Structure 1
Amino acid sequence: MSWIFFTFLAAFSQSWRNAFQSRLSKTLNVTGVTLARFLWASPLALLYLVTLYLVEPIELPKATFHSAFFIVGAAVMQIVATALMVVLFKQKNFAIGAGLAKSEAPVSAFLGVLFFGTSLTLLGWLGVLIGGVAVLILSTPQGIKSLSAKTALLGLACSTAFALTSLWIREASLSLHLPFPHSAAWVLFLVISLQTLMLVSYLLVKDRATLIAMFRKPKLVVMTSIASCIGSFGWFSAMSLQAVPYVKTLGQVEVFFTMLISFFWIKEKVKRKDIAALILVAIAAILVMWH
Structure 2
Amino acid sequence: MWILFTLMAAFAQSWRNALQSKLSREVNAIGVTLARFIWAGPLAGLYLFGLYQWQPQPIPDFNPGFWQFVVGAGLMQILATALMVKLFQLQNFAIGAGLAKSEALVAAVLGTLFFGTSISAMGWGGVLLGTVAIFMLSSVKGWRQLSLSTVMLGLACGSCFALTSLWVREASLVLNVPFPHRAAWVLLSVILLQTIILLLYLGWRDRHTLTQLFKYSRLTWLISISSCIGSIGWFSAMALEPVPYVKTLGQVEVFFTLLISGLWLKDKITLKEVFGLLLIAIAGVMVMWGK
TM-score normalised over the length of structure 2:
0.98
> Which residue does the alignment assign to 1:233?
232
Cα distance in 1 between the residues matched to 2:153 and 2:188 = 29
Residue pairs, 1:108-187, within 5 angstroms: 108-187=107-186
> Which residue does the alignment assign to 1:272?
271
Q: Helix, strand or coil: the match of 2:60?
A: coil
Cα distance in 1 between the residues matched to 2:259 and 2:178 = 36
Q: Give yes or no for the alignment of 1:20 onto 2:22.
A: no
- Structure 2 unaligned blocks of 5 or more: none
TM-score normalised over the length of structure 1:
0.98
Deviations 1:53-84 (A, max 9, x none): 12221111112121110001000100000000
Structure 1 position 109, deviation (Å): 0.1
Q: Give yes or no for the alignment of 1:206 onto 2:205.
A: yes
Structure 1 position 179, deviation (Å): 1.2
> Which residue does the alignment assign to 1:38?
37
Structure 1 counterpart of 2:210, which letter? L
- Structure 1 unaligned blocks of 5 or more: none
Cα distance in 1 between the residues matched to 2:96 and 2:270 = 16
Q: Helix, strand or coil: the match of 2:267?
A: coil
Residue pairs, 1:218-229, within 5 angstroms: 218-229=217-228
Structure 2 counterpart of 1:204, which letter? G
Structure 1 counterpart of 2:114, which letter? F
Identical counterparts, % of pairs:
60
Q: Give yes or no for the alignment of 1:75 onto 2:74.
A: yes
> Which residue does the alignment assign to 2:261?
262
> Which residue does the alignment assign to 2:190?
191
Q: Helix, strand or coil: the match of 1:120?
A: coil
Structure 1 counterpart of 2:251, which letter? Q
Structure 2 counterpart of 1:270, which letter? I
Structure 1 position 257, deviation (Å): 0.2
Structure 1 position 237, deviation (Å): 0.2
Q: Helix, strand or coil: the match of 2:179?
A: coil
> Which residue does the alignment assign to 1:55?
54
Cα distance in 1 between the residues matched to 2:51 and 2:253 = 28
Structure 1 position 177, deviation (Å): 2.3
> Which residue does the alignment assign to 1:66?
65
Give the root-mean-square deviation of aligned CA atoms. Answer: 0.7
Structure 2 counterpart of 1:122, which letter? A
Q: Helix, strand or coil: the match of 2:176?
A: coil
Higher mean Cα deviation, 137-146 or 99-108? Answer: 137-146
